[in-house]
A and B are shown apart, each in its own frame.
Chain A
Amino acid sequence: MVDVAPQASPDRLSRSALFNGFFIAGLSGFGGVLPFARRIIVERKRWLTDAEFADLFSLCQFLPGPNIVNLAAAFGARHRGASGALAAMGGLLAAPVTIVILLGLLFERYGRLPDVHHGLEGLAAAAAGLILATALKIAAPSLRGPTTLAVVILAFTLFAVLHLRLPIVIALSLPVSLVLAARRIR
């Protein structure tokens, strides 16, 4: 009876492996961590296949919150439960949070200097352009079908034109989108 079934399969990652893998992803991701996380998890470490990664990511897109942090949490939890989730999230966020706090302290200290102020205006404009590009990439598949396009326009109008609150936008557009999707998907 000594021969207890081994708990750790080669597929069960250690907390430090989870921390380290997501640490590298967090540090390399500018303007979106997802491509870097995918490269590390699927291509370099072979922790998941492409299809498994896509499946996990679809969950994180469906649920609220920062997608990539959710992905780290779900992936970490699959391997080591709650402590694995914390290890993966901690790895992902440790370096970026430290760096952004340092940048934030510089902002608080020097943000009002005229040159810095103008530089920040340029930076903010560039960041807004970056987000528009990301938004277009995210929305592109939905702009092609007439029913999904209608939902895009509906959500955009409720939120950006009518300035309704976020929960109300979701409460109004989700039922419409669900009905339309149910008619499309057999």
Chain B
Amino acid sequence: MILLAIVLLFAELSLLAIGGVASTLPAMARAVVARHWLTAPQFAALFGVAQASPGPNMLISTLIGLHVAGLPGALLATLAMVGPSSTLTVLVSGLWHRFREARWRRIVQAAITPITGGMVLAAAAFLLRTADHDWRLMIVSGSVTILTLRTRIHPLLLLAGGAVIGVAGLA
């Protein structure tokens, strides 16, 4: 029954992920902590692992599935996260193309953008609160943010740097 619970959770998040998976991260964390599948710091660590892998950041769902129910959990969580939303997208994409000049389409698009902005910022605030329980970790996060915005350093290098500082500075 745990597999069914995984599918239901991620299928719901799939359809609520307005603006992308990032905006569901706080809800996802709240749900998995409430079900005692993970602690909040474990969630932050798993999110770090997902970011250190190539591919979209929805891979956090794969990792949660893996942690809770092994390989079947990983595959079902992944499918549940992509299935409902991609089906909806395929169904709507013809309409979207046909109405590309319509005023209502531009209004809907313009209305979604700032909501996405607010929700992704909320997700970032949540992850920072969860991950940075120490001033040194705050400095790591802040430096990565500034380096990402100001330089073209590869994100994988920044993640590796964070991990090395973690091992060296806090051990």
**A13 interfacial by beta-carbon distance below 8 Å:** no
B158 → chain A closest CB, angstroms: 6
Whether B54 pairs with A177 at a CB distance below 8 angstroms is no
Chain A residue nearest to B108 (CB atoms) is A62
Chain B residue nearest to A96 (CB atoms) is B55
- Which of A139-180 touch B at CB < 8 Å? 139, 141-143, 148-149, 151-157, 159-160, 165-167, 169-170, 173-174, 177-178, 180
Whether B63 pairs with A174 at a CB distance below 8 angstroms is no
0/1 string, A52-64, CB within 8 A of B gives 1: 0001101111111
Whether B16 pairs with A167 at a CB distance below 8 angstroms is yes
Q: A99-B53, A108-B66 are in contact. Are A114 and B44 (CB under 8 A)?
A: no
**B9 interfacial by beta-carbon distance below 8 Å:** no
- Which of B94-134 touch A at CB < 8 Å? 96-97, 100, 103, 106-128, 130-132, 134
Cβ of A139: which chain B residues have Cβ within 8 Å of it?
Answer: 114, 116-118, 120-121
Cβ of B155: which chain A residues have Cβ within 8 Å of it?
Answer: 30-32, 130
**A1 interfacial by beta-carbon distance below 8 Å:** no
**B88 interfacial by beta-carbon distance below 8 Å:** yes
Mostly, the A contact residues are helix
Give the docked Cα–Cα distance between A118 and B15 (Å).
35
Cβ of A149: which chain B residues have Cβ within 8 Å of it?
Answer: 114
Cβ of A133: which chain B residues have Cβ within 8 Å of it?
Answer: 144-145, 148-149
Cβ of B132: which chain A residues have Cβ within 8 Å of it?
Answer: 125, 128
Q: A29-B55, A118-B171 are in contact. Are A70 and B89 (CB under 8 A)?
A: yes
**A8 interfacial by beta-carbon distance below 8 Å:** no
A120 → chain B closest CB, angstroms: 4
Cβ of A148: which chain B residues have Cβ within 8 Å of it?
Answer: 110, 113-114, 117
Q: A125-B166, A131-B124, A155-B115 are in contact. Are A59 and B92 (CB under 8 A)?
A: yes
Cβ of B84: which chain A residues have Cβ within 8 Å of it?
Answer: 65
**B6 interfacial by beta-carbon distance below 8 Å:** no
Whether B27 pairs with A174 at a CB distance below 8 angstroms is no
- Which of A85-142 touch B at CB < 8 Å? 85, 89, 92-93, 95-97, 99-101, 103-105, 107-108, 111, 114-115, 118-139, 141-142
Write 9 A-B pairs (CB below 8 A) sorted by A numbering.
A123-B51, A124-B131, A125-B162, A126-B162, A130-B159, A131-B51, A134-B120, A136-B149, A142-B114
6 other A-B residue contacts (CB within 8 Å) besides A33-B55, A124-B41, A155-B118: A59-B92, A64-B14, A103-B53, A108-B66, A125-B137, A182-B107
Q: Which residues of A are in contact with B by a Cβ distance under 8 Å?
A: 26-33, 55-56, 58-70, 72-74, 77-78, 82, 85, 89, 92-93, 95-97, 99-101, 103-105, 107-108, 111, 114-115, 118-139, 141-143, 148-149, 151-157, 159-160, 165-167, 169-170, 173-174, 177-178, 180-182, 184-186
| Top 8 closest pairs, chain A to chain B, by CB | A122-B166, A65-B85, A96-B55, A126-B162, A155-B118, A129-B144, A139-B117, A31-B155
